[in-house]
Amino acid sequence: MRITDIKQQVKRKTRYSIYVDDKYSFSLSETELMKSCIRIGRDYNAEELEELQQTAVLDKAFMRSLDYLARRPRSEWEVRDYLKRKEYDSPTIDTILNKLSDYDYIDDAKFAQAWITNRRLLKPTSLRRLRQELIQKHVSKEVIEAALTEDEGDETASLKEVIEKKRSQSRYQDPQKLIAYLLRQGYNYGDIKDALQSTTED
């Protein structure tokens, strides 16, 4: 079996289609193409070709994962779930996750810290809500608690900021509706009562 052509893909300029005996066989990234030393006219036996095709599967899965991570930081579970949805098998997924971890592209501890920081920047957020969001990302309890311990956010200040913002809206002039909203946001009832009293006195 002979490599008869190597074509740069039109939509993905960094990937190349490999043709074997004049038929499309697989594709590789530019980096993997150079590493594999594939060239037109080179012959491969069935075992060698199968190995190249498996390399192509891993290469595509890795590049897809990088594209997915480029949109925003992800937990390990999110990347695993993404690859499952792309119908990669467990051994392939494990290989990709290990490679991503080796390159420091996924790290649940760093992800949890970044998640908390970004959420704090967007708007005041309760510790309970942050904890729930990270649990939904399947970050381990130990990692979550460590990240929350390092968080420098002030829960009381956060709560008061939300109260001041919501009080400017007519629907939350009713204290019960405001309390119900704050409870849904994950704030503790006792803290809410104290904060409401404090802001009223102020």
Separation of alpha carbons 140 and 181, rounded Å: 28
Its pTM stands at 0.76
* 105 secondary structure, DSSP code: S
Could you list the pLDDT tens digit for every one of the 202 residues in the chain? 899 999 998 888 889 999 999 999 999 999 898 888 888 999 999 999 999 999 999 999 999 999 999 998 999 999 999 999 999 999 999 999 999 999 999 999 999 999 998 888 888 788 888 999 999 999 999 999 999 888 766 777 777 777 877 777 887 778 788 888 888 877 878 777 777 777 665 5
CA atoms within a 13 Å half-sphere pointing along the CA-CB vector of 80? 15
Separation of alpha carbons 127 and 186, rounded Å: 7
